[in-house]
């Protein structure tokens, strides 16, 4: 049981966790789809125990919903969920970037992510890498931890938004503009551009997504 890099995962639970997460974020497991422990265990060639533990972890990160009546299901992305996630991002992420620029952080990972294109799944991963590279050097580990905690939910929302109406080209242009200003050392300007970038996507997603709670 090896991962795609050909190395043995740290544990069966880690392997199962990453496999299910990847399937959700790549759209192989659809929003609202039931996650049956026995079926997942058979697919991944493991017992039900690591599947159960993985589903609990994914529920904690917001990708899975646990119900005493329906069991585990893939979270349905709705306007309320998106608003909550983007509310926190808009409060923290631009400020984290401003601080990273002031600290003259290294943005080479962000630049590398810009050139990583491909299908929906690959673009989603590149988008995650880019945004994390912007705030990772802010100098506040707790701020980084909070933003890292939103990454899975953000990715789920982003994939849903692109599925409704792809805006890759516009977002790529915005990413490049943000990075140029950040690398030139203009902290406030970089923060403002990032805030507008995040807000624009949040507004579009709020209009497109169903306003339901599941």
The confidence score (pLDDT) of residue 118 equals: 61
Residues of the chain with pLDDT under 70: 1-10, 117-121, 161-168, 209-214
Length of the chain: 214
Output the pTM of the full model: 0.77
The confidence score (pLDDT) of residue 20 equals: 93
- Euclidean distance between CA atoms 124 and 47, whole angstroms: 30
* H or E element, residue 66: strand 64-67
Residue recorded with tokens 């125990």: 49
The confidence score (pLDDT) of residue 69 equals: 81
Of 130, 132, 189, 127, the C-alpha closest to 158 is: 127
The confidence score (pLDDT) of residue 167 equals: 65
**What residue segments make up the domains of the chain, in order of their start?**
12-74, 79-208
Q: Which CATH architecture has domain 12-74?
A: Orthogonal Bundle (1.10)
- Euclidean distance between CA atoms 19 and 34, whole angstroms: 16
End-to-end CA distance of the chain: 34
Q: Which CATH architecture has domain 79-208?
A: Up-down Bundle (1.20)
pLDDT 10s digits, 52-100: 999 999 998 888 999 888 889 998 888 888 889 999 999 999 999 999 9
Asked whether 35 and 72 are in contact (CB, 8 A), the reply is yes
Instruction: Count the neighbouring beta carbons within 10 Å of the beta carbon of residue 159.
Output: 21
User: For residue 96, what are the CA distances in angstroms to 62, 87, 132, 175, 182?
Assistant: 23, 15, 10, 16, 12
Q: What are phi and psi of 22, to 5 degrees?
A: -60, -40
């Amino acid at each position: 049981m090896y991962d795609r890099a050909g190395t043995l995962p740290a544990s069966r639970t880690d392997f199962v966790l990453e496999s299910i997460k990847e399937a959700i974020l790549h759209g192989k497991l659809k929003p609202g789809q039931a996650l049956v422990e026995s079926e997942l265990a058979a697919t991944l060639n493991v017992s039900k125990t690591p599947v159960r533990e993985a589903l609990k972890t994914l529920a904690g990160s917001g990708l899975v919903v646990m119900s005493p009546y329906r069991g585990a299901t893939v979270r349905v992305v709705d306007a309320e969920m998106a608003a909550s996630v983007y509310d926190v991002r808009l409060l923290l992420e631009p400020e984290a970037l401003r601080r990273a620029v002031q600290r003259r952080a290294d943005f080479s990972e962000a630049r590398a992510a810009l050139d990583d294109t491909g299908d929906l799944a690959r673009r989603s991963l590149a988008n995650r890498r880019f945004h994390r590279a912007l705030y990772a050097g802010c100098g506040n580990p707790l701020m980084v931890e909070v933003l890292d905690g939103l990454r899975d939910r953000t990715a789920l929302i982003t994939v849903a938004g692109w599925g409704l109406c792809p805006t890759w080209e516009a977002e790529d242009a915005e990413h490049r503009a943000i990075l140029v200003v950040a690398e030139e050392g203009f902290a406030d300007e970089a923060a403002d551009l990032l805030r507008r970038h995040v807000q624009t996507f949040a507004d579009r997603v709020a209009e497109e997504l169903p306003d339901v709670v599941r």
